[in-house]
Amino acid sequence: MEQLLELHERLTPADHQTHRRYLFRVPSHSTLLQIHAGYAPKTLSIEESATVVAETIQSERAALELRIGACLADAWSLRQRECEWGHVRNLLTISVDDAMGAYRGACHREAPDQQLVLGREFASPGLVAGPLPAGVWTLTLSAHTLVTAHCDVSIQIGAETASSRS
């Protein structure tokens, strides 16, 4: 297995709803890409989550009042406060584009640790199997939600080539 990309990043709430692109070079005659993506922590504590939920409901209620009136906004707010929200979570996802510029899929999963494969005949759900053209590929890390004080991200990409299998 040839290592193509190894990255370790620390994201903060300032990175919320951003996209970071990382380039990696896929060698010729590659037969399989293996991608490991992980991040931690996944959630806020239950106490911190309760505070975030309460603040968000209050903020959204105020915005709704301007559009639909106080009576409906209050009713919405009451229903939201009655829900059991649990832990508020970070959500990071990845997507991949090949050397030809073709979109090869995205992995929008809740799991904070993922092992993915991309090959000619098979790909993990969310990714598109097919030829693995040599050249510069792009992995995009999307920080959809970052609620913890920091979030440590680790991504490794390796390639099997026809020569590494023999």
Q: What is the pLDDT of residues 89-118, one digit of tens each?
A: 999 999 999 999 999 999 988 889 999 999
Q: What is the pLDDT of residues 129-157, one digit of tens each?
A: 999 999 999 999 999 999 999 999 999 99
Q: What is the pLDDT of residues 8-27, one digit of tens each?
A: 999 999 999 999 999 999 99
Share of the chain above pLDDT 90, in %: 91
Q: Give CA–CA dist 88/36, Å, rounded.
A: 24
pLDDT band at 163 (very low <50, low <70, confident <90, very high): confident
H-helix or E-strand containing 139?
A: strand 135-145
Q: Give CA–CA dist 20/4, Å, rounded.
A: 17
| Residues written for the chain | 166
pLDDT band at 164 (very low <50, low <70, confident <90, very high): low
Helix runs in the chain, H state only = 46-68, 70-82, 162-165
Q: Give Cα separations from 41 to 8, 17, 25, 89, 151 (angstroms).
A: 14, 17, 30, 9, 6
Q: Beta strands 151-161 and 91-97: pairing type?
A: unpaired
User: Which overall architecture, per CATH, does domain 2-43+89-165 show?
Assistant: Sandwich (2.60)
pLDDT beyond 90 at 85 = no
Q: Give CA–CA dist 121/22, Å, rounded.
A: 25
Give 27's DSSP letter.
Answer: P
User: Cα–Cα–Cα angle for 14, 137, 4, nearest 5°?
Assistant: 90
Q: What is the pLDDT of residues 44-71, one digit of tens each?
A: 999 999 999 999 999 999 999 999 999 9
pLDDT recorded at residue 109: 83
Q: What is the pLDDT of residues 30-48, one digit of tens each?
A: 999 999 999 999 999 999 9
pLDDT beyond 90 at 126 = yes
> In this structure, what token pair is assigned to residue 117?
């494969």
Residue with tokens 């406060």: 81
Q: Give CA–CA dist 129/118, Å, rounded.
A: 6
Q: Which of 163, 157, 151, 165 is nearest to 104 (CA)?
A: 157
| Strands of the sheet with 2-11, listed across from one edge | 2-11, 151-161, 30-40, 113-119
